[in-house]
Amino acid sequence: MSWTETRRFDAVSVGEELPTLDIPISVRQIVSCAIATRDYQNVHHDLEATRALGSPNIFMNILTTGGLVERYLGEWAGPEAMFRKVAIRLGAPNYPGDTMTMSAKVTAKGDADRTLELDVTGRNSIGNHLMATVVLALPN
């Protein structure tokens, strides 16, 4: 499915699993996304300061995580989809040199408002980086 196509509500089933998406994590991505979201916390760009706080490396911020969730689902659902709710819980940090694999499953459909509820997971080599519940409205 490409970004120019829109997934239709009637074509989606509860229990449907989305294709996975592998996202390589790099220093450049972590630092540039932190700067772009005006998150200047040292744990997202300063290795020495981060190690002094007990972390082995800098790590991704939650705003980048949220953007990656919306990218993943937006590419699947298409440009006419509307995000109604995004609730993210963070787990294991995303460190440079790792890969986060995004996966999702449709858990509910709301026929009255054409919404889908999806459980989304982003997993890296040390565990789940994110667990999210997302509600999307799709055209019919």
pLDDT tens digits for range 19-73: 999 999 999 999 999 999 999 999 999 999 999 999 999 999 999 999 999 999 9
Helix, strand, or coil here: 136? strand
The structure tokens 């996975």 sit at 20
Q: 81 with 138: CB under 8 angstroms? A: yes
Higher model confidence: residue 76 or residue 6? Answer: 76
Mean pLDDT score of the chain, rounded to an integer?
A: 95
Mean of pLDDT values over 13-17: 97
Tell which residue, 77, 71, 58, 61, has the closest CA to residue 137: 77
Q: 80 with 6: CB under 8 angstroms? A: yes
| Interatomic CA distance for residues 25 and 1, integer angstroms | 24
The reported pLDDT for the residue numbered 1 is 44
The CATH classification number of 9-137 equals 3.10.129.10
Mean of pLDDT values over 113-134: 98
The domain limits of the chain are 9-137
pLDDT band at 3 (very low <50, low <70, confident <90, very high): low
Residues of the chain with pLDDT > 70: what percent? 97
pLDDT band at 112 (very low <50, low <70, confident <90, very high): very high
Mean of pLDDT values over 87-114: 97
